[in-house]
Amino acid sequence: MIDLEKLKSINKESSVAIISVPSDENSTFLKGTAEGPEKIIEALHIDSSNMCAENRVDLSKEERLVEIGSFEFNDNSNQVLQIEEPINKILENGVKIIALGGDHAISYPLVKAHSNFFKDLTVLHFDAHPDLYHEFEGNKYSHACPFARVMEQNLVKRMVSVGIRGMNQHQKEQGVKFGVETIEMKNWVEVNSLKLDSQVYISLDLDILDPAFAPGISHYEPGGCSSRDVINLIQKINAQVVGADIVELNPQRDINGMTAMVAAKFLKEIAVKILE
Ligand code: MN
Ligand code: MN
């Protein structure tokens, strides 16, 4: 359960809440990402590593970083429709959020909530896939569709997708229609000249990584980037980061928890970026 009481005791304006969103209702091909958040939290605290980010901030001593628990969904509606309102309640307190998925469908309500509070949003989207299908297998809330919903409602000023290598003609056309800036994996070097100047929301689908670095995901798309490539890009963001999600960890496919460790590493680097 989400523990909003915990938020009362912290310095709200500068704090970051880690919140688990265990939803895989809108996944295709495989289920299992609902078990992701628990494994990322476990990896974050595992004794084999410490809680230091690479800028030497020790997050175990950082009182502004708070874990506030997990969403509990009911059966009354699609889980995607149950996310925005509680997130609004947290954001209206001035607290920033890192959400742990879950499948990528959760990013639509997360970005929607952020758009209520940040009028100048850029989504920086890490993924092998554009996730721009108008609908997928009859579901417009599918994890293949979140950014079509975001863009058709004009929720953000700018959207940049990086690492893409599974784009068909329909998604190409959707991207052009919505003005999504895409850096395909084959052109990865272009991330070096990426300029971000507004409030950045990071949406990080772990399948951006080559499956060699992240076997614990559902949709293997070889030819992806390394963990280092992603860390470097997070670290070089030269703009205010106002929120993030890390999605698509499927523990049922993971090997020795290695993908959960990568997710926890990204979580640490994103957390210090938001706290900066
Ligand atoms: Mn995705
Ligand atoms: Mn993906």
Tell me the per-residue pLDDT of 119-151, one tens digit each, with 9 for 90 and over: 999 999 999 999 999 999 999 999 999 999 999
Number of domains in the chain: 1
Note the pLDDT tens digit of each residue in 200-252: 999 999 999 999 999 999 999 999 999 999 999 999 999 999 999 999 999 99
What lies within 8 Å, CB to CB, of 92 at 6+ separation is: 117
d(C-alpha 249, C-alpha 41), whole Å: 12
Ligand nearest to the CA of 132: 1
CB of 246 closer than 8 Å to CB of 266: yes
Q: Please tell me the distance between residue 25's alpha carbon and the centre of ligand 2 in angstroms.
A: 16
Q: Please tell me the distance between residue 74's alpha carbon and the centre of ligand 1 in angstroms.
A: 24
Ligand nearest to the CA of 128: 2
Check pLDDT > 70 for residue 9.
no
CA R_g for the chain: 17
- Helices 107-117 and 84-91 pack at an angle, to 10 degrees, of 40
Give the least confident one: 2-11, 76-85, 242-251, 261-270. 2-11
Q: Please tell me the distance between residue 93's alpha carbon and the centre of ligand 2 in angstroms.
A: 31
Q: Please tell me the distance between residue 56's alpha carbon and the centre of ligand 2 in angstroms.
A: 30
State the pLDDT at residue 91: 94
Q: How many Å separate Cα 141 from the centre of its chain? A: 16
128 three-state secondary structure: coil
HSE (CB half, 13 Å, CA atoms) of 162?
22
Burial class (CB in 10 A: 0-12, 13-18, 19+), 172: middle
Q: What is the average pLDDT score of the chain?
A: 96
Q: Please tell me the distance between residue 273's alpha carbon and the centre of ligand 2 in angstroms.
A: 23
Buried b (16+ CB within 10 A) or exposed e, 128-140: bbbbbbeebeebb
Q: Please tell me the distance between residue 57's alpha carbon and the centre of ligand 2 in angstroms.
A: 30
**Structure token digits, residue 150:** 């975001």
State the pLDDT at residue 6: 75
What CATH number did the domain enclosing 198 receive?
Answer: 3.40.800.10
Q: Please tell me the distance between residue 93's alpha carbon and the centre of ligand 1 in angstroms.
A: 29
Q: Please tell me the distance between residue 198's alpha carbon and the centre of ligand 2 in angstroms.
A: 24
Ligand nearest to the CA of 147: 1
Which amino acid is present at 153? Q
Strand ranges for the chain from DSSP E: 16-21, 65-70, 96-101, 121-126, 158-164, 181-184, 199-205, 241-247
* Number of C-beta neighbours around residue 239 at 10 A: 15
> Which range marks the domain in which residue 219 is found?
4-275
Q: What are the distances in angstroms from CA 209 to CA 187, 222, 225, 259?
A: 15, 8, 5, 10
Q: Please tell me the distance between residue 166's alpha carbon and the centre of ligand 2 in angstroms.
A: 9
